[in-house]
Amino acid sequence: MPTQAQFRAKGTDLGKLTASVAGQTEALATAQSERASLAAELARLEADPTAAELNVLVGEASSRVKGLSERAAALRALAASGASGADLTPAAKERQRKKLLEYRDAWLKRKRACTEALANLADAMELKPKDVSREVGIETDDDAGVQLPSLPAGCGRTPGKPIVRLIGKKR
């Protein structure tokens, strides 16, 4: 029966094995870092559009530019001809005015409802409405730089008077 004494390693053998393990560990670390850099480069290359995709995008953009150029030329020709809104009949002007007021009033109604709901939520959370909107991720008209369209003269509302009043409490 074999004994453990027969398999004892010599000091030189252990040194060689330790050096070999260290060399293999270093080679593994080098290979892993190279793999990681290649994987990052592959991800970057796969994220970029291919030449065929770019050709399609350029074609779509070109057709869109052509359509917009034609529309701009038509509008310039219309402006040069002297045509204006004065060519509308009074009934058509009234329809347009009512439509504008309807859309504007609907916007105001929705804005008031959202502002009120936000104020109620802020009260329940004991925070300021601005803090709640920031926490929830609500983009307000002010954040987007959107302003309520002004009404043209003669639309039935007195300019300068506020139509919207803030709902909720200031803290």
Q: Strand, helix or coil at 170?
A: coil
Cα-based angle 9, 13, 15 (whole degrees, multiple of 5)? 120
Instruction: Report the alpha-carbon distance of residue 29 to residue 45 in Å, rounded.
Output: 24
Per residue in 55-91, pLDDT (tens digit) is 999 999 999 999 999 999 988 887 777 666 556 788 8
pTM (global) more than 0.85 = no
pLDDT for 10 = 67
* Dihedral class, residue 48 (left if φ above 0, else alpha if ψ from -120 to 50, else beta): beta
Most confident of 32-36, 148-152, 164-168: 32-36
Of the candidates 166, 118, 124, the one whose C-alpha atom is nearest the C-alpha of residue 138 is 118
Q: Please determine, for residue 164, whether its predicted confidence score (pLDDT) is greater than 50.
A: no
Instruction: Report the alpha-carbon distance of residue 129 to residue 135 in Å, rounded.
Output: 10
pLDDT for 18 = 86
Per residue in 128-149, pLDDT (tens digit) is 988 988 888 888 888 888 877 6
